[in-house]
Structure 1
């Protein structure tokens, strides 16, 4: 009887793991089932673009039917509700799946840090549906303003100045002039804030790149509030720790992630923010038949701190999981996972960006944007998305 491998999640880590495992095992030797809530793969790192009308939704979602065509992978569109690693059973909204090996790549959930009102009144950007909601909400604010000219309708707040927050605020800043022209509203009546609890934007980026990003975004009208934690959100108001209040109907929260609650509830060993602990082969602690990939788990760098949850890390984890799982199935030695961080580039809207590639090369402007675009094309080629 073939070994049954169930992969939970078709994000970067899960999709790559399933595709590589199918390619790296003899035909007919393993039954692979991929479970995902949606019938498409989401380019989560690009969601800021449809959120600000820079791309269509269809440009950041790829039908799984296309990606899995001709592959020995069974796709199940369903929602995971429970994992029982002792019984080797996954419960879905529509039934159950038993497995011999499990790959958990369910991604992360939003971390609200206990900020009152943030979950209730803030929007997040973790799916194509949420990107559409943000875009529609901003357009509605512009539509309402001529009929009810309250300043809070045209005051927009992006909470968090990490990669997602900066890329989103840059794209919104580029979008605002078009919205103003369409609505016949002067640009000076629109305010765009980026609020960050830390003393600087883009943590992990070098100071000269941070300064360049600030310069570019300020020129587009972005107002930064750094070192200013949000302490409460209520309808129409964002309260800051320094006592300041921003009157706004729009707060988009990009300030943090935590592990998936399903992973916590399954009893896997996790750190305080709910991300699963794994060994050097990306197996869940205490479970040799369960592999983890992506934001639902973490690995430590040389300084003993977790690597930031990024797409490139998830992709590399997916590759490693497939390699080691195939080794298990074929009785070969496994290989420890060693991340190779190739650099990080942050889009600033339009065709502008800042970033670092490898250990030494820094880039900004169109060159940095080209590097980011090239990285995206390489990934699409890897998963077969560029094939007709």
Structure 2
């Protein structure tokens, strides 16, 4: 791995971050915190390759569906969150760890304005080749350090019809469309109740079912389908009181829970379950677990689920790091894989960023030592369950703890402040609160500012 100073001259060291989620943002933040001067001086180039031009903060998805927050509060353009990175809107297609290169293809609408980071790092001309104008041309980018933070997606193709007629929480654009669908159902004045089926009884599924029921009221019927014998298996063993409280909240909201059955297939107006039940459904939401987004390469270093197996310091092989849903990270005390949730992705990303900074200075890396904090779920304003270092909380205390925790990890301080304002407005006016200013759906971010920042840093 190259170092910052080579023969007394400034050397370009390239860090490539794959994905636009928690791992990437917090690896970037950790790198900037411990080696930001080198990045700003142009000694280190940071390149982000992401299929989405904005980071989605999933913590408040339930509040968005419940009409408490506008959708754009959860979206932060990558060029704003990582101003010293070169953001490329595209998809990584292969990793060659032996040659230290990553292959990628641009999004269709990105090719005309793309500045190749490989070319951009070696020349000030910023000119475009013929290949740069072809979105289907596979590009090759070498790296000194690569961070795989591509995350995971719900396996929509595992349920026939789900990809065509249902919604997931991670698919680009699904939350915006789903929110509008729920609002239309809640505003419907006809005699027929709209039925929303939520598949999956973990934290995400329980929160989504509660949010839709809370917002839809009497006009929307919510059916929660779970394959296990009880909801919230991640809480049931160690925090049974919190699991029972969640069941009480779902009953209060009128959510019907169906246990021991799976979502078998989805059509335009029905959800079919594994026991043969047919549910008329206007909307189906799947929270049925995550599968890692697969980028070919490093196949010898994957577990049976396709996750990259990391060393204690979160390196996969020399020069390649991974965390979050794409990685199998072993808990430092239990020896078991850490949970696939945002908190562990955030902490994993932070640790990777710190270790990147240490390698830049020729220092040894450190093992990942984070042991966990807790978990929480919300069932409406002031109605939550949370567990902090094994201590259970419910009601307003749990809700405030959850809110404080989420605000702490939002990538935009401005949006975090807006969330506080939104909740204050709701407390004062309830459902009749005036709509916050701004679009309901985030406008597409433009990648050119990141290129301009890079050029400015290079010529400074």
Q: TM-score, normalised by structure 1?
A: 0.86
Q: Distance in 2 between matches of 1:268 and 1:346?
A: 37
Q: Distance in 2 between matches of 1:268 and 1:374?
A: 41
Q: Distance in 2 between matches of 1:158 and 1:212?
A: 19
Aligned twin of 1:49: 63
Q: Distance in 2 between matches of 1:381 and 1:257?
A: 23
SS in 2 for 1:214: helix
Whether the 8 Å contact between 1:167 and 1:349 is mirrored in structure 2 is: no
After superposition, the C-alpha distances for 1:116-141 in whole angstroms (9 at most, x for unaligned) are: 33334321011562111112223445
Q: 1:125 aligns with which of 166, 169, 174?
A: 169
Aligned twin of 1:356: 387
Q: Distance in 2 between matches of 1:97 and 1:110?
A: 29
Whether the 8 Å contact between 2:160 and 2:265 is mirrored in structure 1 is: yes
Unaligned runs of 5+ in 2: 1-10, 107-138, 419-460
Whether the 8 Å contact between 2:30 and 2:351 is mirrored in structure 1 is: no
Aligned twin of 2:154: 110
Q: CA deviation at 1:239?
A: 2.5
Q: Distance in 2 between matches of 1:305 and 1:232?
A: 33
Q: CA deviation at 1:165?
A: 0.8
- Are 1:37 and 2:51 counterparts? yes
Q: Distance in 2 between matches of 1:112 and 1:358?
A: 34
Aligned twin of 2:99: 87
Whether the 8 Å contact between 1:34 and 1:73 is mirrored in structure 2 is: yes
Matches within 5 A, 1:1-388: 1-25=11-35, 26-27=37-38, 28=41, 29-69=43-83, 72-94=84-106, 95-112=139-156, 114-126=158-170, 129-141=173-185, 146=190, 154-177=194-217, 187=218, 190-205=220-235, 206-262=239-295, 264=296, 267=299, 269-284=301-316, 287-301=317-331, 302-359=333-390, 361-380=391-410
Whether the 8 Å contact between 1:17 and 1:318 is mirrored in structure 2 is: yes
SS in 1 for 2:28: helix
Q: CA deviation at 1:265?
A: 5.2
Whether the 8 Å contact between 1:47 and 1:128 is mirrored in structure 2 is: no
Q: Distance in 2 between matches of 1:127 and 1:109?
A: 7
Aligned twin of 1:181: none
The alignment of Structure 1 onto Structure 2 pairs a total of residues equal to: 368
- Report the CA distance shift for 1:326/1:125 in structure 2 as closer, same or farther (over 3 A): same
SS in 2 for 1:280: coil
Larger Rg: 2
Q: CA deviation at 1:369?
A: 0.8
Whether the 8 Å contact between 2:67 and 2:215 is mirrored in structure 1 is: yes
After superposition, the C-alpha distances for 1:272-299 in whole angstroms (9 at most, x for unaligned) are: 2221111111111xx2110012111122
Q: Distance in 2 between matches of 1:41 and 1:74?
A: 15
After superposition, the C-alpha distances for 1:178-228 in whole angstroms (9 at most, x for unaligned) are: xxxxxxxxx2x6321111111111122121111111111211111111222
SS in 1 for 2:234: coil
Q: Distance in 1 between matches of 2:99 and 2:274?
A: 48
Aligned twin of 2:450: none
- Report the CA distance shift for 1:123/1:201 in structure 2 as closer, same or farther (over 3 A): same
Q: Distance in 2 between matches of 1:141 and 1:112?
A: 23
Deviates more, 1:310-319 or 1:108-117: 108-117
Whether the 8 Å contact between 2:199 and 2:205 is mirrored in structure 1 is: yes
Q: CA deviation at 1:378?
A: 1.6
Q: Distance in 2 between matches of 1:384 and 1:318?
A: 22
Unaligned runs of 5+ in 1: 178-186
Whether the 8 Å contact between 1:173 and 1:349 is mirrored in structure 2 is: no
Q: CA deviation at 1:143?
A: 6.8
